[in-house]
Amino acid sequence: MLNLTLHLSLRLSDNAYSLVAEVMNKLVVIAPTHCQLFITELADAVQKLTKSGIDELRVFGEAVKALLSTSSSDGAAILRVLQALSSLVGSLIEKEKDQLILPEKEHSAALSQVWDINTALEPLWLELSTCISKIESYSDSSPEVPTTSRNSTTKPSSAISPLPAGAQNILPYIESFFVMCEKLHPAQPGSGHDFGIAVVSEVEDASTSAAQQKTAGPISKVDEKQMAFVRFSEKHRKLLNAFIRQNPGLLEKSFSLMLKVPRFVDFDNKRAHFRSKIKHQHDHHHSPLRISVRRAYILEDSYNQLRMRSTQDLKGRLTVNFQGEEGIDAGGLTREWYQLLSRVIFDKGALLFTTVGNESTFQPNPNSVYQTEHLSYFKFVGRVVGKALFDGQLLDVHFTRSFYKHILGVKVTYLDIEAIDPDYFKNLKWMLENDISDVLHLTFSIDADEEKLILYERTQVTDYELIPGGRNMKVTEENKHQYVNLVAEHRLTTAIRPQINAFLEGFNELIPRELISIFNDKELELLISGLPDIDLDDMRANTEYSGYSAASPAIQWFWEVVQGFSKEDKARLLQFVTGTSKVPLEGFSALQGISGSQKFQIHKAYGSSEHLPSAHTCFNQLDLPEYPSKQHLEERLLLAIHEGNEGFGFG
């Protein structure tokens, strides 16, 4: 009967199979002695399927036509059996300490049988890797090979490739491999049975620079099955990401293991996963969040109206009213509020943040203590940045790499000092690369002059000991790595720890640490601030006209004029028309308006040619009069974006 049930289960629909697997688990609960019997039968089934699976993968790899004309059955069967096994093993492990399912001897025998399957399946995984490599080579070298990618107008990177047609046939094999890696691998003694994030982080450390390795210490031996997953994902990252791109839900299901080593997931796939999770929260919250602010007191008014709101309130749809103005917020005023508020928050006069390095990146100002309620303000800023991410809004601000790492919960290193103080970084690097015996006379403390440099404009300082008794402990060739690490920790963390903690308290109310941590520091910057430059070709390709056509003289002049604008004036034009100076990561095709996606609009404005261009930010719409000359258009446009880029008007 069991053999018949298993035989039939391999040919049932997914729903019917789920019922069979559920019945099997319930039988084990009722009669625990059946557990080993089921595991034995499932283990036999998967080993019998392995040979035909290898043959099938070999056929797929030999000719692309076979991939297109054949429908896989063995891959799906193997996946179902391994999923059933993982469910039973999960029950065994859950009750392992209490031994509630099987006596110790039978329990160990059952698990041992599962671990033996790893060895039996190794040839299958090798053939799978070979098959994927061949499919990828077909896709790269044969332009005739059809694909199944969606026709997108976004701006993908060169690394993004479409999914070869027929590749769905090997997806069950890949999912089976991931099940084996995550649920059915022998655990290291004392490490638990799950695919541990801590262990994966050691794998990631293995790819860091030699300089980082010197300061980080030795790397532990990583479980072989986890290393197999890492090698597989690294080698076939291209195809794996193509699968995710076509079906983003894979990251929450069979491909979820990849989120534990997120460097293998392309940024656009991470971003889609992030937005999906955030959208789920949006969909379950309908109460609007309304605020009314004065432009001259935008920081104070916003702070007072938002600081007492609950986390649940903050998840509501934000609508902004500027007091004394007639505009109704359909999206444009909210974008403008984010832009104006961020300017004030990061202005030096607010004492909250300070610029470092190239004067264009920010991190908390240690002198913020002189600002009344400064930690409450940092929590508020964390909420604003978190709310912007939650709402899909972009901020015109860039933080230091080390501050992005603090948001992500990633440890900073001395390498991060380079962006803040290149000269000091060179000194530290020289220390690490040369013998400092009898050359430098340093102690494990920072004197007043160094402290002024480190804390950027701080005027009241005291000596700071990096370790207790540090003033009396000399830096030597043997302990210089420890000294460099402590200096980096002090510069980038200790001196501003209260401000960092307050910011994160507000930020994580809206953006959970486990969700944001899938990004690296560069990706987080893109997520918060968007693309750094305005691509006029992309902007022009995604512009729609009313009253004009692309060939109209006024439109030709417009693009010639904008082409000659400075980077700052291009940003002013974008903010004048859309309410924000940042471009979505997907490019101009993804501009948002009152009812979702809304391309850049240029409408003909009728009336006097002396009128200035006007804008409707809710519709990303520029109303452009028909000027008599290119020079006149340039003069009027520059005046409009410089003098009329704030406030709501009827133009």
Who contacts 504 (Cβ-Cβ below 8 Å, separation ≥6)?
382, 406, 407
618 catalytic? Reply is yes
Confidence of residue 456 (pLDDT cuts 50, 70, 90): very low
Instruction: Give the model's pLDDT for residue 452.
Output: 44
Coil, helix or strand at residue 550: coil
Please report which residue ranges of 457-547 form alpha helices under DSSP H: 480-492, 497-510, 513-516, 521-529, 536-541
pLDDT confidence of 200, banded at 50, 70, 90?
A: very low
Report the pLDDT averaged over residues 303-329. Answer: 85
Q: Are 283 and 252 in contact (CB under 8 A)?
A: no
Q: Give this prediction's pTM.
A: 0.74
Mean pLDDT throughout 467-485?
90
H or E stretch including 615?
strand 614-616
Q: How far is Cα of residue 290 from the mean position of the Cα atoms in its chain?
A: 29
Phi, psi of 209 (to 5 degrees): -70, 160
Whole-number pLDDT of residue 87: 77
In tens, the pLDDT along 405-436 reads 999 999 999 888 887 788 888 899 899 999 98
| Length of the chain in terms of residues written | 651
Return the pLDDT at 542.
Answer: 93
Answer whether residue 462 shows pLDDT above 80.
no
Task: Give the separation between CA 313 and CA 309, rounded to whole angstroms.
Answer: 6
HEC states along 525-541?
Answer: HHHHHCECCCCHHHHHH
Q: What are the strands of the beta sheet with 600-605, ordered from one edge?
A: 543-546, 600-605, 621-625, 614-616
Q: Across the strands, what pairs with 596?
A: 593
Query: Distance between the two ends of the chain, CA-based, in angstroms?
Result: 80
Radius of gyration of the chain from its Cα atoms, rounded to whole angstroms? 30
Query: What is the C-alpha to C-alpha distance for residues 465 and 468, in angstroms, rounded to an integer?
Result: 6
The mean per-residue pLDDT over the stretch 210-223 comes to 41
As to burial, measured by CB atoms within 10 angstroms (0-12 exposed, 13-18 middle, 19+ buried), residue 261 is buried
CA angle 494, 498, 502 (to 5 degrees): 135
Please tell me the least confidently modeled range out of 284-293, 327-336, 590-599. Answer: 327-336
Confidence at residue 81, expressed as pLDDT on a 0 to 100 scale: 84
What is the structure's pLDDT at 25? Answer: 63
Q: Is the pLDDT of residue 122 over 50?
A: yes
Say yes or no to pLDDT of 646 above 70: no
pLDDT above 90 covers what percent of the chain? 32
Select, from the ranges 146-160, 218-232, 507-521, the one with the highest average predicted confidence (pLDDT): 507-521
Interatomic CA distance for residues 600 and 570, integer angstroms = 14
Please write the tens of the pLDDT for every residue from 491-507. 899 889 999 999 999 99
Question: pLDDT band for position 11 (50/70/90)?
Answer: low
Can you give the pLDDT at residue 152?
Answer: 36
Question: What is the average pLDDT value for the chain, to the nearest integer?
Answer: 78
Q: H/E element holding 477?
A: none
- Residue from 35, 131, 181, 618 carrying the catalytic annotation: 618
The CA-atom distances, in angstroms, between 580 and each of 227, 396, 537, 621 are 45, 8, 19, 13
CA distances from 318 to 276, 331, 380, 387, 503 (A): 19, 9, 15, 9, 21
C-alpha separations of 176 from 181, 254, 265 in Å: 9, 8, 19
Confidence of residue 294 (pLDDT cuts 50, 70, 90): very high
Strand partners, 531: 583
95-119 pLDDT per residue, tens: 555 555 555 555 566 666 667 777 7
The predicted pLDDT at position 85 comes to 81
**For residue 336, which of 62, 70, 645, 27 has the smallest C-alpha distance?**
645
Q: Beta strands 592-593 and 445-446: pairing type? A: unpaired
Pairing label, strands 596-597, 445-446? unpaired
Residue spans of beta strands (DSSP E) within 267-373: 289-293, 318-322, 353-356, 361-364
Least confident range from 6-20, 334-348, 470-484, 621-635: namely 6-20
Mean pLDDT for 281-299 is 84
Q: Look at residues 62, 238, 58 and name the one whose alpha carbon lies nearest to residue 159.
A: 238
Q: Which H or E element spans position 444? A: none
Closest by Cα among 395, 384, 364 to 457: 364
In the predicted model, is pLDDT for residue 19 greater than 90? no
Check if the beta carbon of residue 464 is closer than 8 Å to that of residue 451: yes
CB 646 within 8 A of CB 296: no
Biggest alpha carbon distance in the chain? 93
Q: Which of 568, 577, 583 is nearest to 644 (CA)?
A: 577
- Which residue in this structure is represented by tokens 């990096």? 466
- pLDDT at 271 (0 to 100): 92
Q: Are 175 and 189 in contact, with CB atoms under 8 Å apart? A: no
Take residue 447 and report the two structure tokens written for it.
């004197």
pLDDT tier at 301, thresholds 50, 70, 90: very high
- On whether the CB atoms of residues 163 and 148 are closer than 8 A, the answer is yes
211, with CB counted inside 10 A (0-12, 13-18, 19+), is middle
- Per the model's pLDDT, the better-predicted residue between 196 and 426 turns out to be 426
The pLDDT, as a whole number, for residue 38 is 73
Q: Please list the residues that pair with 597 across neighbouring strands.
A: 592
Candidate ranges 129-143, 203-217, 497-511; pick with highest mean pLDDT: 497-511
Pairing of the two strands 596-597 and 592-593: antiparallel
Model pLDDT for residues 222-231, shown as the tens digit of each residue: 466 678 889 9
Phi-psi domain of 620 (left: phi exceeds 0; alpha: psi -120 through 50; beta: other):
left
Percent of the chain having pLDDT more than 70? 72
C-alpha closest to that of 176 among 255, 237, 242, 266: 255
DSSP 261-282: SGGGS-HHHHHHHHHHHHHHHH
Point out the least confidently predicted range of 29-38, 119-128, 169-178. Answer: 29-38
Place of tokens 């302990």: 479
Taking the C-alpha atoms of residue 581 and residue 584, their distance in angstroms, rounded to an integer, is: 10
Residue 421, number of CB atoms within 10 A of its CB: 17
> pLDDT category, 168, cuts 50, 70, 90?
confident
Query: pLDDT tens digit string along 582-626?
Result: 788 788 888 877 667 788 999 999 888 889 999 887 788 999 999
Amino acid at 570: K
Q: Is the pLDDT assigned to residue 372 strictly greater than 80?
A: yes
Q: Which of 195, 174, 177, 200 is nearest to 263 (CA)?
A: 200
